[in-house]
Amino acid sequence: MSVNILLPDGSSKSYPQGVSPQMVAEDISPRLAKAAVAAEVDGQVCDLSIALGAGEHRVRILTDRDEPALEVLRHTAAHVLAQAMIRLYGPGVQYTIGPALMDDFQYGFYYDFDLPEPIGQEDLEKVEAEMRRVIQEQVPTRRREMSPGEAIALMEKLGQRYKIELIEDLVRDEKVQQVSLYEQGDFTDLCRGPHLPHTGMVKAFKLLAVAGAYWRGSEKNKMLTRVYGVAFFDEKRLAEHLTRIEEARKRDHRVLGKQLGLFLISDAVGPGLPLWLPKGTRIRMELEGWLRGELLKRGYQPVITPHIGRLDLYRTSGHYPYYQESQFPPLVERETLEKLAGEGCSCVELQQRMERGEVDGYLLKPMNCPHHIQVYKAAQRSYRDLPVRLSEFGTVYRYEQSGELNGLTRVRGFTQDDAHIFCTPEQLEGEIQSCVELTKLVLATLGLSDYRVRISLGDRSSDKYVGDPEHWALAEENIRSVVKKLGLSYVEAAGEAAFYGPKIDFMVKDCLGREWQLGTIQVDYNLPERFALEYIAADNAPHRPVMVHRAPLGSPERFIGILIEHFGGAFPLWLAPVQVAVLPVSEKVADYAASVHRRLSEAGLRSEFDDSSEKIGAKIRRSTLDKVPYMAVIGPREQEAGAVSVRSRSAGELGAKPLDDLVAGLRLEVDSKGASPLSGAPGA
RNA sequence: GCUGCUGUAGCUCAGUGGUAGAGCGCGUCCUUGGUAAGGACGAGGUCGUGGGUUCAACCCCCACCAGCAGCUCCA
């Protein structure tokens, strides 16, 4: 029996049985054999050393240029890490799991350990040094397959109880007959593989962080020590990666928000409760103002509703029972509180009675929909009125876990650019479509053109979801249909839906390639049911409307947080808190400069006048650090000519221009939300 | 919420068991300078909060609060 190998170039070769991809590579060319790091056999990435069975196989030799090879490299790097840890901290180190990461922005692999004593960031250098030793030794890796029983016996000998648990689970859940282990010198790991032939092929790596992680991701389990690292085939790519991380760090919206005076999170006010400073507010007003205009054009009716509402309202909607643990506790009226205290009611009792609905209170609203539903119900609705589209930039409060709070992207008090559309089932698909189109417009306007869509579906087996399965199926079908019709690339995620219905989420990549979840569109048959919503149809009988919840930004707080990072604080002109800085060269031209400043302000431009006694270089530097898009430098020459010397953030010095030209140019750029007629360069 | 780390002037940070410093920023004055930092002087801190150890704590110990990284969660 022989092995027939089909190569990617279409050629085929014949070998005796048991031939390995490594041998095939050697046969093709010594250079390929040297560059080979792994192989792809019949579409499966595997070790170079495996013995190929009889028959025909498609074989592709993977070198450091192939994406799947990088994953193999990182996986081996994780094993090198584990081996180094054991060498340093002794056989008492329990190693658990250590995968390669291919989609993470920073990290390339990690390994979770149960350590006899904790280690910190400062220990990583020591671990790296030991890893370099393991790499220098070029320790060969060897795959062994054995029965689960043998593997358990081996792991018992090594004292690795997490591995034993993993093997036992593989047997129980997947009924495996055989497991694979990788030997790497004195280190043996249960592992699916594949791996590099030896550790010497891990060329460039760096350990980046040490942090806690629960065993198997469950907070009920023990907290392990996770060491994160990244690895590449060469130093250059590693250096680029580290630069990219550094770049991201510099764009951190929390850092820029402070530097540029955009927002503030004050301990005196509370964690996760951002305060918008004047400059940040400017950005938000522009963004929201623009969106408000777009909503009016699309037949939305703005409403304004309060920040709190009766507990009963949220009992009816289901939010109170479903998300109690992530809400601020309810407010109870003083009189009620005093009466209950008089009856000797304890705090625990009070909470229980509120849960049972025996005591009412008020809740800081966690969602706007119950209020909007009341607005819908305020009038009798005819099918002729539908769709009713109620919009509000409504601020909601959610008690996020303390460890989750993060700048503007995860907060406890935030606004939703919310709207609720009440429509007939027949109108639903069209409404979803226009919501998707609005979200696309928002993203396009802000230059966030790299995104995909996630359709989050229910999960029949979970009890998390409420409502009629038929409605769910219908809603899911409507959503799919729209996404397909608009040709969006999408993934489906079962079990990710809201409790009341499926949703579309926009997953947007920023300029550094990091993915964020922004806009959302959710279909809801459930709340109309719970609140007994109706409209009178053409048959003169009451029917139940469907609701769409949608927020193209998601939340202005979160969205602007992401925009700060996307633009690195250099906002396009229409959003920039200060659009133009007027910089007189000396006090001699202060009057003329002041008149320029006035003229710009009167034209509706946000102008800042720097009349400090600094030299012009210092003034320019200050405006540059503030990322002001345009500067108008003014000296005697400009005064003479009624001109300004224009300097742009993106294109540098543009030379002297008549003041009228500057005003007109800036107006044009603001109104077009992008293109820069002054410099010919993009505004951002 | 959990694990680890951190908390000193408005900001970024240094520092010592004997109650504190730098740079930037801020204020005043001098300077009137042409495209990324002109000069001088000055103000500003109960060293996160509360306990404890000590003759003495910003420094050591404990608790709490907050921030950061990761995990978990996210209507």
A601 pLDDT tier (thresholds 50, 70, 90): very high
Model pLDDT, residue A680: 53
Model pLDDT, residue A14: 84
For residue A122, say whether its CB is under 7 Å from any atom of strand B.
no
A681 pLDDT tier (thresholds 50, 70, 90): very low
Percent of chain A with pLDDT over 70: 98
Six-digit token pair at A532?
């007994």
Closest CA to A203 of A69, A39, A390: A69
Per-residue pLDDT of A290-318, as tens digits, reads 999 999 999 999 999 999 999 999 999 99
- Which residues of A belong to the active site? 369, 398, 416, 418, 420, 503, 549
Model pLDDT, residue A220: 86
Would you call A365 exposed, middle or buried from its count of C-beta atoms within 10 A (0-12, 13-18, 19+)?
buried
Per-residue pLDDT of A83-111, as tens digits, reads 999 998 888 899 999 999 998 889 999 99
Model pLDDT, residue A121: 81
Residue nearest to nucleotide B31 (CA to C1'): A613
Q: Which nucleotide is closest, CA of A405 to its C1'?
A: B67
Q: Which nucleotide is closest, CA of A365 to its C1'?
A: B75
Judge if the upstream peptide bond of residue A194 is cis by omega within 30 degrees of 0.
yes
Model pLDDT, residue A676: 66
Whether residue A683 is predicted with pLDDT greater than 60 in this model: the reply is: no
Q: Which nucleotide is closest, CA of A270 to its C1'?
A: B66
| CB-based contact A457:A503 (threshold 8 Å) | no
* A24, A25, A28, A57 from A7: Cα distances, Å: 10, 10, 10, 9
Whether residue A20 is predicted with pLDDT greater than 90 in this model: the reply is: no
Phi, psi of A197 (to 5 degrees): -60, -35
Per-residue pLDDT of A607-657, as tens digits, reads 999 999 999 999 999 999 999 999 999 999 999 999 999 999 999 999 999
Bases of chain B within 7 A of a CB of the protein:
1-5, 11-12, 29-39, 65-75
Query: What does the alpha-carbon distance between residue A179 and residue A165 come to, in Å, rounded to a whole number?
Result: 13
Residue nearest to nucleotide B11 (CA to C1'): A259
Model pLDDT, residue A132: 93
Report, as an integer, the average pLDDT of A146-155: 91
Average pLDDT, chain A: 91
Lowest mean pLDDT among A42-46, A53-57, A476-480, A505-509: A53-57
For residue A489, say whether its CB is under 7 Å from any atom of strand B.
no
Per-residue pLDDT of A113-130, as tens digits, reads 998 877 888 888 889 999
Percent of chain A with pLDDT over 90: 69
Whether residue A464 is predicted with pLDDT greater than 80 in this model: the reply is: no
Whether residue A229 is predicted with pLDDT greater than 90 in this model: the reply is: yes
**Does ipTM come in above 0.90?**
yes
Report, as an integer, the average pLDDT of A571-600: 96
Residue nearest to nucleotide B32 (CA to C1'): A586
* A35, A136, A207, A238, A345 from A235: Cα distances, Å: 16, 16, 14, 5, 67
Per-residue pLDDT of A326-375, as tens digits, reads 999 999 999 999 999 899 988 888 888 988 889 989 999 999 999 999 99
Closest CA to A570 of A430, A442, A453, A447: A447
Whether residue A682 is predicted with pLDDT greater than 70 in this model: the reply is: no
Q: Which nucleotide is closest, CA of A401 to its C1'?
A: B1
Half-sphere exposure in the Cβ direction for A653 (13 Å, CA)? 6
Whether residue A678 is predicted with pLDDT greater than 50 in this model: the reply is: yes
Three-class DSSP labels, A614-642: CCHHHHHHHHHHCCCCEEEEECHHHHHHC
Model pLDDT, residue A172: 87
Residue nearest to nucleotide B36 (CA to C1'): A621
Six-digit token pair at A53?
């069975």
- Residues 147-206 of A with CB within 7 A of strand B: none
Torsion-angle region of A480 (φ positive above 0: left; ψ -120 to 50: alpha; else: beta): alpha
For residue A317, say whether its CB is under 7 Å from any atom of strand B.
no
pTM for this one?
A: 0.92
Question: Which residues fall within 8 angstroms of residue A666, CB to CB, at 6 or more apart?
Answer: A573, A579, A580, A600, A603, A605, A630, A678
Model pLDDT, residue A368: 96
The amino acid at residue A405 is L
- The partner residues of A364 in beta bridges, in order of sequence, read A308
